[in-house]
Amino acid sequence: MTSLTFLFLAVTLSSDTGPWEQQPFGQLAKPQSSLHFTVQGPLSSYVPAPGDIVFSTSDKPRTSFFYRLALVGLPSHVGIVVRMPDGRLGVFEAGGGGELRTRTTPLGTRFGRKGDRAIWIRKPMNPLTADQELKLNEYAAVSQGKGYSNRRALELAWMFLNGTRGPIRTMFDGKPKGFRDDYVCSEAVTEALVYAGLIDSETARPSATAPRDLLLDRSLNLYIRRHPPLACGWLPPSLWVGCDGVTAECQCSPIGSVIPMPKRGLLRFRR
């Protein structure tokens, strides 16, 4: 293990239980293998843990329009819950919230962010092992402050068939690269999962993976469709309903009470 890993181990073992540890942080609707916007019960308490995948969709019509036009589909952003060096939990993400950089955002700040139309959570079927969590935390720590790759974000669009999401380059050029100088949100999450040994490094294609691929285990990309990264280790997505004022830091309203996307339209992407 690297010295940074030992540092995380020391912090984890020595720190007191953080404000989010084993405490409900909002509620989750019934898991569904679809891009659902309507809250369905029964609701269950959400207790955050490392390895939880956090998806979101912007309330800006222009963002939704672009994702549909590019034939990538919603959601528009994804991050993963990790443990920060001070022992608290946060969401490791690239971009999002108007910031074009890679960083770990504290849970209360991330879930209270304005502009999210809906948030979904995919929890691992089994808790992470100590080594998996340490490696995941290490990847997030080393990647702090890296840039956001607008070029690779555009290449995820199907209109750019020469990009890494193209049918040929996905197989050969989309393989994990480890630590990068800049990231796309879904790329950062997939690379972190590979580094932690949580998904298969042989079949993972971080630079060709879109947030929707991680949410639904389905993709228009034939390679990703045959090798969905989260299909075997994560539960179906659950709509996050809100934190109900768990702490003063988190004052968000129930995001789950949203108006569904129109079912018909010129650029509707099949759910």
Predicted confidence (pLDDT) per residue in 226-267, tens digit: 999 999 999 999 999 986 533 333 433 344 333 333 343 433
CATH number at 3-242 = 3.90.1720.10
Q: Where are the domains of the chain?
A: 3-242
Q: Sign of the CA dihedral 245, 247, 250, 255?
A: negative
pLDDT above 90 for 19: no
φ/ψ of 103, rounded to 5, equals -160, 175
pLDDT of residue 40: 86
pLDDT of residue 164: 61
Cis status of the peptide bond prior to 24, with omega within 30 of 0: no
pLDDT of residue 47: 95
φ/ψ of 109, rounded to 5, equals -70, -45
User: What distance in Å separates the CA atoms of residue 213 and residue 228, rounded to the nearest whole number?
Assistant: 7
pLDDT above 60 for 161: no
**Least confident stretch, 17-21, 36-40, 116-120:** 17-21
Q: pLDDT tens digit string along 192-231?
A: 999 999 999 999 999 889 899 999 998 888 888 899 999 9
